[in-house]
Amino acid sequence: MEFFRIKKDIPFMRHARMFNIISLVTFLIAVGSLAIQGLNFGVDFTGGTVMEVAYKQPPQLDDVRASVAKLGFAEASVQNFGTARDVLIRLPVKEGLTSAKLSEQVLAELRKQQADVEIRRVEFVGPQVGKELFESGALALLFVCIGIVAYLAMRFEWKFGLAAIIANLHDVIIIVGVFSIFRWEFSLPVLAAVLAILGYSVNESVVVFDRVRECFRSRQYRNASVPEVLDAAITQTMSRTIITHGSTQMMVLAMLLFGGETLFHFALALTIGICFGIYSSVLVASPIVMYLGVSRNDLVKPETVAKPGEDGAVV
């Protein structure tokens, strides 16, 4: 489905080097931030205390966060759990305080606002568990990358697989780097968003690459140069890109603006990833394919002419 059709090909590849410099600078800033100050890991990774409390009347989560912040836990995670009357509180590790003592202090502070609050459970998440979660997430990211390269190499050509994985890792590093720069909490939902963006971004790359292959096979572009073919493929998929990513971005923005604290960082990671996913598919993956020297012969088998006297020969 197309809402509009662009008749003249947009010369993306003419400005590819400028955009690649921008991408490289952004990438280096993200890597530098990760190397210098790292990530602000949440309780899921660093360990801490998890409390489930229950109210007789649904509380205001902002009031609960304010109460917990008075105890020095400004970055504590507070969200509804199950029903509007049940609240789950995640607190980071604090030296000199056991989980039992910490839960007593939090409960006493919460009862200053509503005396009917009760503790349902208190659990301690150890740093070892957090380390295992981080390693499992890193392995998941590695296996996704290997799968993407293998799939694109089989469906298209190894140059497309290499270009796609570089572009996707570009997206991942920048998402994680933004979280590092602004010291936003990196939790399991954010990791899930990063993995989702990997699949989302590679889908856009596959659409563009598939159109590149069609253009190489078309008689219309038989004598066209590689940059011209890439420009034509990107321009022809532009309507689909705007419709698909526009509708997806509206849904994610709804979660970001109205989903509350629970979904905020998850939706934020998706928002950043979708924007950079479009950018990388067009202005990172496609130029890399061009730099790797892709040609019509990589995707289209050369036509063979039979010799005189052979079956099917044209005499």
User: For residue 92, what are the contacts with CB-CB under 8 A and spacing of at least 6?
Assistant: 43, 46, 47, 48, 73, 75, 76
Quote the pTM value. 0.76
Q: List average pLDDT for each run of 10 residues in the chain, which is 315 residues long.
A: 71 88 92 91 78 87 87 79 83 76 85 85 71 75 78 78 85 91 87 84 83 86 87 88 87 88 87 87 87 79 53 46
Give the model confidence (pLDDT) of 18-47 as tens digits. Answer: 988 998 999 999 999 999 988 888 777 777
> What domains lie within the chain, and their CATH numbers?
12-39+129-299 (1.20.1640.10), 48-125 (3.30.70.3400)
Distance, in Å, from the CA atom of 288 to the CA atom of 286, rounded to the nearest integer, reads 5
The pLDDT assigned to 301 comes to 63
